[in-house]
Amino acid sequence: MKDLSVDNLTTIKDLSKSDIELIFNTADNFKKILNQPIKKVPSLRDITIANLFFENSTRTKLSFELAEKRLSADIINFSSSNSSVKKGETLLDTVQNILAMKVDMIVLRHSSPGASIFLSRNIDAKIINAGDGSHEHPTQALLDSFSIRQNFSDFKSLNVLIIGDIIHSRVALSNIFCLQKLGAKVGVCGPSTLMPKFLKSLNVEYFKDLRSALSWSDVANVLRIQLERQKLKYFPSLREYSSRFGVTKKVLDEIKNKVILMHPGPINRGVEISSDVADSKQSIILDQVENGVAIRMAVLYLLAKKIKK
Amino acid sequence: MMKRKILNEKKINIVLERLSNEILENHFETKNSVLLGIQPRGIELCKRLYYNLKKINNNVKMGKLDISFYRDDFRRFDKIITPSNMDLNISLENKNVILVDDVLFTGRTVRSAFEALLSFGRPKKIELLVFVDRRFCRELPIQADYVGIEVDTLENEKVFVKFGQAEKSVYLTS
């Protein structure tokens, strides 16, 4: 089998289809490991990883941390709320200081799009992008597609819908790239104000109406409305958004086909998705979280392989 | 590349029969015996022994152990290690485990296998069965309890064991 074609995981765009398949196959093996009585393997015991989270995160941070610990790596954690960044240090300086302590890999979350690409051009350590502003969130896209793969045999002829705040969502962008590379068709649905201008160049289908969008799709990935990123008012009220684009039992009953529902979290129950639907058998939200650890183990393992001895 | 056949099908069958009987001597009627094949090349051998033992001792169980993530040469190879399937649905707690592999060379695979199988519980006893023991090549203090054949080889030589339907043979190449 071939190695990954990239040295850092900054965007899904850089990955080839065979890279994604390699990550999935490795994650399959790690999923088995995660079901063993002892869930730890010694693969990365001579690797040190720094988790640099310049932006808040619970799920992604815990998931990465657990994946690193399951692989026996040494880890250091950093979050910007209690750091020298507040004292005026630049990103590059902060990272170079951390690297001086002999760190091999960096997991970076940052509010600026392209932060991880910038770092990868300037430093030696392997970089994994854990979300950079509204740009990309590659491991989330990988675990979403991995979760879809567990329910369908093939991505060809599969229609995947992404509902909600596309313009601010790094999850949406990474998912679109990842799914298209695997051969699936992607559609988006939401208020037209929350669609990016470059939507046409992404080669996705746009639906104004939630019901027709859901009838088209096999899988629907429901996104959260990212109020913290919205500087303007994009729609009149959350209540109105919810009544037009909220996925509820009533809407799902009206369409004929069965749609599998996903959500990258955190969920705002009653806004983009109703509670009964989020907890129903149609939703694979908790599978996504479980798969997240296996996918991140696979990514860390495959990139660590490339660190020169 | 020189290729020399050192065992043919007939001989292999005799050796397999002998190994099965040797295991039976120590594991006769024990309910707690588990044959554990090391992925990928220990599996065919393990299956054959399993079918032989099944005829007499119905309690014996079989599992497949993948050691990819437990190896000590991760990042020291250029080649990527392709993980295989881990298939072990039983706890190894208090079991008598017989590790099965085709060739015993440096002993490093077996060391990794120890680490991997300890993730499934604490066995009562671990034994090692190999079809070919390459003598004088060990890098770790590991010896097999059951040995098919012993061969003396140079370090740059390779031993291939084939247990497929099409061909059963043991080759030495250099």
* pLDDT for the residue A82: 62
Length of chain B counted residue by residue: 174
Distance of CA B155 to the CA centre of its chain: 20
Task: Give domain status of residue A2, yes or no.
Answer: no
Give the β-pairing of B146-152 and B125-135: parallel
User: Exposure of B88 by Cβ count < 10 A (0-12 exposed, 13-18 middle, 19+ buried)?
Assistant: buried
Task: Give domain status of residue B162, yes or no.
Answer: no
pLDDT confidence bin for A228, thresholds 50/70/90: confident
A166 & A199 share domain: yes
Task: Give domain status of residue B58, yes or no.
Answer: yes
The verdict on a CB contact (< 8 Å) between B80 and A3 is yes
Task: Give domain status of residue B165, yes or no.
Answer: no
Q: What is the CA radius of gyration of chain B?
A: 16
A215 & A231 share domain: yes
At residue A294, φ and ψ (nearest 5 deg) are -65, -40
Spatial distance between the Cα atoms of B118 and A25, rounded to a whole number of angstroms: 24
Task: Give domain status of residue B43, yes or no.
Answer: yes
Q: Is A6 on the interface with B (CB under 8 A)?
A: no
A157 & A254 share domain: yes
Number of compact structural domains in chain A: 2
A220 & A297 share domain: no
The verdict on a CB contact (< 8 Å) between A29 and B66 is yes
Task: Give domain status of residue A111, yes or no.
Answer: yes
CATH of the domain at A200: 3.40.50.1370
Of all residues in chain A, the percent with pLDDT exceeding 90 is 79
The verdict on a CB contact (< 8 Å) between B76 and A309 is yes
Average pLDDT, chain A: 92
Task: Give domain status of residue B4, yes or no.
Answer: no
* pLDDT for the residue A84: 65
A164 compared with B154, residue with greater pLDDT? A164
Task: Give domain status of residue A218, yes or no.
Answer: yes
At residue B18, φ and ψ (nearest 5 deg) are -65, -45
Å between B63 CA and nearest CA of chain A: 14
Give the type of residue at B75.
R
C-alpha distances (whole Å) from A3 to each of A14, A22, A295, A309 are 14, 8, 16, 16
For A70, the domain range is 17-137+289-304
pTM attached to this predicted model:
0.90
* pLDDT for the residue B139: 93
Q: Is A87 on the interface with B (CB under 8 A)?
A: no
Task: Give domain status of residue B56, yes or no.
Answer: yes
CB atoms within 10 A of CB A38: 11
Among A206-210, A255-259, B70-74, whose mean pLDDT is lowest? Answer: B70-74
A183 & A101 share domain: no
CATH of the domain at B43: 3.40.50.2020
Average pLDDT, chain B: 89
Tokens of B15: 């050796």
A131 & A198 share domain: no
pLDDT surpassing 80 at residue A296: yes
pLDDT confidence bin for A90, thresholds 50/70/90: confident
Could you read off the pLDDT of A99-110 as tens digits, one per residue?
Answer: 899 999 999 999
A182 & A89 share domain: no
For B151, the domain range is 10-23+32-155
Identify the bridge partners of residue A273 per DSSP, sorted by sequence position: A247, A269
Spatial distance between the Cα atoms of A167 and A207, rounded to a whole number of angstroms: 15
What is the mean predicted confidence (pLDDT) over B87-95? 87
What is the mean predicted confidence (pLDDT) over B140-167? 89
User: Exposure of B114 by Cβ count < 10 A (0-12 exposed, 13-18 middle, 19+ buried)?
Assistant: middle
CB atoms within 10 A of CB A232: 5
What is the mean predicted confidence (pLDDT) over B122-126? 94
Task: Give domain status of residue A82, yes or no.
Answer: yes
A226 & A268 share domain: yes
Q: Is A305 on the interface with B (CB under 8 A)?
A: yes
Number of compact structural domains in chain B: 1
pLDDT surpassing 90 at residue B28: no
A224 & A155 share domain: yes
Spatial distance between the Cα atoms of B76 and B79, rounded to a whole number of angstroms: 9
What is the mean predicted confidence (pLDDT) over B24-40? 88
